[in-house]
Amino acid sequence: MRTRRLMLVSALVGCTALVCVSWLLGREPRSQVLQMAKQATLQPTPTLVPLQAQASAPITPNGVSPSVWRLADTSRPDRLGTVVNEVRATNARDLEVLTAIALRRSDPDEVRNEAMTALQSANADSALDTCGAVACMLEETPRMRAFATQHIGRLLTDSRGIAARDRTLALLRNLLKDDQVRVRREAFAALVAADDPGTLSIAAEGTRAGHEEFDDLIIYHWVERRQADRITAVCTHIDDDREAVRVAAIYACGELGNDSTRQKLEGAKPADARSQRAIALAVERIHARGH
pLDDT at 84: 60
Q: Which ranges in the chain are annotated with CATH 1.25.10? A: 206-288
Q: What phi and psi values does residue 27 have, to the nearest 5 degrees?
A: -90, 175
Distance CA 172, CA 148 (A): 11
CATH class of 206-288: mainly alpha
pLDDT at 164: 85
pLDDT at 112: 93
pLDDT at 124: 86
pLDDT at 30: 38
CB proximity list for 268: less than 8 A, separation 6 or greater: 238, 239, 250, 275, 279
Distance CA 98, CA 101 (A): 5
pLDDT at 74: 85
Distance CA 101, CA 83 (A): 13
Distances (CA, A) of 219 to 250, 257, 280: 10, 13, 19
CB proximity list for 31: less than 8 A, separation 6 or greater: none
Helix (H, G, I), strand (E, B) or coil at 214: helix
Distance CA 136, CA 47 (A): 17
pLDDT at 59: 84
Distance CA 42, CA 38 (A): 9
Taking only the tens of pLDDT, the chain with its 291 residues reads: 433 333 433 444 444 333 333 332 333 343 333 333 333 322 333 344 455 555 666 788 889 999 899 889 888 877 777 556 678 898 999 999 999 999 998 889 999 999 999 998 888 888 999 999 999 998 899 999 999 999 999 998 765 667 788 999 999 999 999 999 999 999 999 999 999 999 999 999 999 999 999 999 999 999 999 999 999 999 999 999 999 999 999 999 999 999 999 999 999 999 999 999 999 999 999 999 876
